[in-house]
């Protein structure tokens, strides 16, 4: 029934936290056995969080617009949305007493479902800001407007009600405290999202950063117009100077945001003087907020850049140290170029330790990776055809990845062989005293490793070659576990 909506769902995040489908099912049973109404943080309520995030953002945009520009003529639709939002935020405060909490311990990440612990945690942290932000101003405005409508025939009461309405509208600015809820919504969405990828988290950070910057500019633009309106538009205010008294809301808003941005980034501010001390304070606040915005933007951008593509940064660091070494050793420019080209061909601009990567995965995954990469190469060699899968698996784990550049001599004729090669990509030239032959992707050479005899030909790389090699020692170790193959 409806209680299933409160239980943890089977997704990548829940599997990451609990480890398996069975563990997720046990978590569902644990919640059902508790017998209390509590919302699991990995339930479908994550969609509710996203909806609340959208409604909060609309509130943070609409409330300053209504107070500054609409002058009480916001229309029935906006008043209905205000009442709906206030109701939803009051419900949200109540739901937070039943919303499971994800522990902050990275090593023991689990959901807290104990009602008492949830209540204590909420009361100690976000309860007071949430109650302030959820104050039902929309209901008060409806009530005040109804009183004004009933007292239209009495001028003194009408003026009094107008002042009350203005006070209530200014009081409604406390709903801007919902910006803290927006930040928390972002954090909660990031926690319960189905992906634990750094790319997703980076996207959420960038999105939240730009939303905060947009809200700051938006609020600043509304304040630019709101303060002269409170002063009943004195003759020297910027609104009268720009002849905006009878302009449309969009024109007034555009001018307000333009002034705000000009002050925040100190662009063309010289043409916008501040004739009154009130406007002077507005300008100072704009400039300080702009400075803070710039600082936060640069700090976040720097942090994001530092954390993006660490493999490429490690590669550049290694190459920098290599270049210092080559310069110190006074290597010829041609050799330095070949070394640089080798690293580019070997790592492709991204540094990684292949052995370390393979050691961190399970043996089953390692076997599958090697099977995908190399099994087709082994199947081309007669000795490995129609062999037991276990033997092939052992051989696969003995292979080593190697890269050769154009012109490299891979093996030399009449030299004892200790390694066999399988070409993954590239072309080589096999030369003897009597013939030449080209080999390419999927071919192999150096089969004398099977007997540890001497190489019968010289093999040169015609292009950059990516190969896998099998040493004689590793081959003999593999044969020890398969006497039937060794006998053949």
pLDDT for 1 equals 63
* Cβ–Cβ under 8 Å, residues 78 and 58: no
> Mapping DSSP to helix (H, G, I), strand (E, B) and coil, where does residue 190 land?
helix
> Mapping DSSP to helix (H, G, I), strand (E, B) and coil, where does residue 114 land?
coil
pLDDT for 24 equals 83
* Cβ–Cβ under 8 Å, residues 432 and 411: no
Report angle CA 457, 459, 465 to the nearest 5 degrees.
Answer: 155
Q: Model's pTM, two decimal places?
A: 0.59
In the numeric block, which tokens belong to residue 345?
């061909």
pLDDT for 458 equals 92
In order along its 488 residues, the chain shows pLDDT tens digits of 677 888 888 876 677 677 677 788 888 888 888 878 888 888 887 677 778 878 888 888 888 888 888 766 667 787 888 888 889 888 988 988 988 887 765 445 567 888 899 999 889 888 888 888 888 877 777 776 666 555 555 555 455 555 555 555 666 666 666 677 667 766 666 655 544 455 666 777 777 788 888 988 998 999 889 888 888 888 888 888 888 888 999 999 999 999 888 888 876 554 556 677 778 888 888 888 888 888 888 887 787 777 777 778 888 888 999 999 999 999 999 999 999 888 888 887 778 777 788 888 888 888 888 888 888 888 888 888 878 888 888 888 888 889 998 889 999 888 888 888 999 888 999 998 888 999 988 888 988 767 777 888 899 999 888 899 988 888 888 888 887 777 76
Distances (CA, A) of 86 to 74, 130, 174: 16, 11, 12
Of 216, 222, 263, 275, nearest to 63 by C-alpha is 222
Please classify residue 399 by burial: count the beta carbons closer than 10 Å to its beta carbon, then call 0-12 exposed, 13-18 middle and 19+ buried: buried
What dihedral angle (degrees, nearest 10) is formed by the CA atoms of 196, 201, 204, 210? 180
In the numeric block, which tokens belong to residue 161?
């009600």
pLDDT for 16 equals 66
Of 407, 340, 409, 398, nearest to 367 by C-alpha is 398
* Cβ–Cβ under 8 Å, residues 238 and 259: yes
Spatial distance between the Cα atoms of 29 and 24, rounded to a whole number of angstroms: 9
Per-residue burial over 310-343, b = 16 or more CB atoms within 10 Å of its CB, e = otherwise: eeeeebeeebeeeeeebeeeeeeeeeeeebeeeb
Spatial distance between the Cα atoms of 285 and 260, rounded to a whole number of angstroms: 10
| Biggest distance spanned by C-alpha atoms of the chain | 118
pLDDT for 164 equals 53
Bridge partners for 445 per DSSP: 421
What dihedral angle (degrees, nearest 10) is formed by the CA atoms of 288, 292, 294, 297? -160
């Amino acid at each position: 029934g409806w209680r299933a909506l409160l239980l943890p769902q089977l997704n990548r995040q829940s599997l990451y936290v609990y480890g398996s489908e069975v563990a997720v099912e046990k978590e569902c049973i644990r919640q059902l056995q508790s017998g209390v109404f509590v919302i699991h943080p990995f339930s479908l309520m994550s969609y509710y969080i996203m909806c609340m995030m959208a409604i909060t953002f609309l509130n943070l945009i609409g409330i300053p617009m209504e107070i500054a520009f609409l002058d009480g003529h916001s229309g029935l639709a906006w008043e209905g949305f205000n009442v709906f939002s206030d109701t939803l935020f009051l419900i949200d405060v109540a739901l937070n007493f039943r919303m499971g909490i994800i522990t902050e311990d990275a090593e023991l990440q689990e959901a807290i479902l104990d009602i008492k612990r949830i209540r204590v945690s909420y009361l100690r942290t976000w309860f007071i800001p949430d109650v302030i932000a959820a104050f039902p101003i929309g209901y008060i405005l409806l009530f005040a407007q109804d009183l004004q409508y009933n007292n239209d025939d009495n001028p003194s009461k009408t003026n009094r009600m107008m002042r009350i309405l203005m006070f209530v509208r200014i009081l409604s600015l406390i709903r801007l405290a919902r910006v803290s809820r927006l930040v928390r919504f972002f954090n909660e969405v990031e926690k319960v999202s189905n992906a634990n990828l750094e790319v997703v988290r980076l996207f959420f950070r960038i999105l939240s950063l730009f939303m905060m910057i947009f809200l700051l500019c938006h609020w600043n633009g509304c304040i630019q117009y709101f303060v002269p309106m409170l002063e009943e538009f004195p003759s020297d205010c910027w609104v009268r100077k720009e002849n905006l008294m009878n302009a449309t809301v969009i024109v007034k808003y555009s001018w307000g945001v333009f002034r705000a941005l000009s002050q925040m980034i100190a662009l063309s501010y010289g043409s916008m003087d501040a004739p009154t001390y009130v406007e002077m304070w507005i300008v100072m606040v704009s400039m300080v907020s702009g400075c803070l915005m710039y600082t936060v933007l640069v700090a976040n951008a720097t942090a994001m850049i530092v954390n993006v593509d660490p493999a490429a940064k490690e590669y550049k660091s290694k190459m920098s140290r290599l270049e210092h070494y080559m310069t110190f050793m006074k290597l010829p420019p041609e050799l330095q170029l070949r070394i640089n080209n080798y690293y580019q061909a070997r790592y492709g601009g991204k540094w990684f330790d292949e052995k370390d990567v393979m050691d961190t995965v399970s043996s089953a995954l390692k076997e599958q990776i090697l099977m995908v990469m190399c099994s087709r190469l082994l199947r081309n060699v007669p000795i490995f055809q129609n062999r037991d899968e276990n033997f092939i698996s052992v051989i696969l784990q003995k292979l080593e990845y190697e890269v050769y550049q154009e012109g490299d001599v891979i093996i030399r004729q009449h030299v004892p062989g200790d390694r066999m090669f399988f070409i993954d990509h590239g072309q080589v030239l096999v030369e003897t005293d009597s013939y030449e032959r080209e080999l390419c992707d999927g071919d192999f050479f150096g089969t004398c490793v099977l007997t540890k005899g001497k190489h019968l030909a010289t093999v040169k790389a015609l292009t950059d070659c990516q190969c896998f090699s099998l040493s004689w020692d590793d081959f003999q170790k593999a044969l020890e576990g398969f006497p039937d193959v060794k006998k053949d």
